[in-house]
Structure 1
């Protein structure tokens, strides 16, 4: 089974596009800047325990790796 949620590679601003596969097509959920954001999107998409699937490759595909890249050029 392919992952149902795709978290894209980090952008230059540090955000990652999050999308879900629904009815055979990709549906954007939003741009996440942290694990918390991903959890909020997953909860809104109907997952009751999204914290439990963050590291489960059956549920989530992390493009570019699991770690977040902080934005550069601030401070």
Structure 2
């Protein structure tokens, strides 16, 4: 089964395990922050490619601790 090109706000919430509510998505749209979206009439959809890119930008990279650095040397 192929992945859809667009997701509804409800599907976006499901995709992120409800860590992002549809209300949060609505607030982000109003503030023009968060993932890119497309508005067609009254319908809002999120391009999956843009969701993937946005999610990758949210990755937090941790630096190694000193004890981990010593073990590697």
TM (norm. structure 2) is 0.32
Q: In terms of Rg, which structure is larger?
A: 2
Higher helix share: 2
Q: Which has the higher contact order (CA 8 A, sep 6+)?
A: 1
TM-score, with structure 1 as normaliser: 0.31
Higher strand share: 1
